[in-house]
Amino acid sequence: MSVTITDVAMLAGVSTATVSRVLSGGASVLPETRERVHRAVELLNYTPSGVARSLRSRTTRVIGLIVTDITNPFYPDLVRGLEDAVHDQGRSVLFCNAAENVEREQRYLDVLSEQRVDAMVVASSGLTRRWAERLDDFPIPVVLVNVQSPGERFPAVVADNQVGGRIAAEHLVERGYGPIVHIAGALEEGETSVRQAGVADVAGDDLLVAAGDGHLEGGARAMLEIAESIEPPFGVVAHNDLSAIGAMSALHQLGWDVPGQVGVVGFDDIDVTRYVTPPLTSVVQDRYGMGAYAAELVHRLLDGESASGTHLMPVELAVRESTRGPA
C-alpha cells in the first residue's frame, strides 16, 4: 500500500490538507474539488493509513479485549455481542486469550498499552484480581464483563446472579420439589455466593449446600455426598450446567428419578442442556447482550460520560424436562 495521501493530492491537483478534509467528511470543500479528490482516490485505489492517522490524532479506534478462554462456551456469544457493537461504533477489537497464565496476562497488558488501544474490556476474573493496581494506572477506560471488580473500581457488566438463584429455587418450589439443595461452584469464583444467596432467599434455613467445582465431576461428587442426608423428593439448584449434569448422573446412579423424584436446575444455559436426558432447566443469561452492553459502556466512557458501578443484566429461566414436577 505505498500510495499515500500525497499521491492523491498531486493527482487531484490539491493539497494534502484538502484530501484529508474530503476524507474526514466534515469540513467545507467545494463539491467540485471533493469530486476530483474522490476520483483520484478511486483511481489510485488509495486506502488511508490508520497507523499514521492514529499517530497524529492520538486515538486508534481499537478496543482491547481480554478473555479468560474463548474455548469456554460462555464467551463466544459475549465476544460476538461485543464485537458487533464495537464495529457498529466504527471501532475494532484487538483480541487476547488470557489463558489464566500470569506471564501472558502481563504480556497482553503490555501489548494493549503499546498498541495504544482506546479502551479495554476484560472478561477474566483472575486478571482483574491479579492486576487491579496496574489496571488502575491505565490512562484509558477499562470495563469488566462477567467479573465483579474488587471494590467496584471499574464499571462492570454482570448477570443478576442473585435473581437467577432466586427464580431457580422458586421454580422448584412451585413445581412441588420440597427442600432445596445447592451445589456450589469452585470457592474462588466470586459469583458462587451471589447465586447461592438468591437460592437462600427462597429456601431460607432449609437449604443444604455441597461444594462442587463447576465441572461434571464436582457436581456428581457433591450430589453423592449430599444424598446421604436427604431423601426425595427435593430440588437441586446447581452453580452451573456442568455441575447440574454431573448431579443428574449421580442421581441416576442412585436410582433417583429426574424429574420424577428430584428436580434439577442449572445455570448458564449452554447448548448441551437441550441434549442431555432429561433436558435440563437452566437460568439463561443474555451473553450477547452483556457483550453489547459492555461496548455501550466503553462508548459512553470514550464520550466523556460516566458509567461507573456494577450493571446487572436480567436473567430468565428456560424450563425443560428436568423440572416437570414430581411423579
53 makes contact with DNA (CB under 7 A): yes
Asked if 66 and 96 count as a contact pair (C-beta separation under 8 A), the reply is yes
295 makes contact with a second copy (CB under 8 A): no
Q: What residue has cell string 467479573?
A: 147
- Which grid coordinates belong to 98? 488470557
Give, as ranges, the residues between 72 and 91 that touch a second copy (CB under 8 A): 73, 75-77, 79-80, 83-84, 87
Nearer to DNA, 31 or 255 (CB): 31
Between 27 and 46, how does the x/- string for binding to DNA read (CB under 7 A)?
xxxx-xxx-----------x
Asked if 216 and 272 count as a contact pair (C-beta separation under 8 A), the reply is no
Q: What residue has cell string 460520560?
A: 305
Q: Which of 42, 57, 316, 325 binds DNA (CB under 7 A)?
A: 57
- 271 makes contact, choosing from a second copy, DNA, none, with CB < 5 to 8 Å by partner type, with a second copy
Nearer to DNA, 50 or 150 (CB): 50
Report d(CA 67, CA 82) in Å as an integer.
12
Report d(CA 98, CA 296) in Å as an integer.
23
5 makes contact with DNA (CB under 7 A): yes
Report d(CA 174, CA 310) in Å as an integer.
31
Nearer to a second copy, 84 or 174 (CB): 84
Beta bridge mates, 285: 315
Q: What residue has cell string 443469561?
A: 285
Q: Which of 38, 42, 56, 100 binds DNA (CB under 7 A)?
A: 56
Beta bridge mates, 208: 181
106 makes contact with a second copy (CB under 8 A): no
Asked if 74 and 45 count as a contact pair (C-beta separation under 8 A), the reply is no
Nearer to DNA, 55 or 102 (CB): 55
Q: Which residues form the interface with DNA (CB under 7 A)?
A: 2, 4-6, 13-21, 23-24, 27-30, 32-34, 46, 48-49, 51-53, 55-58
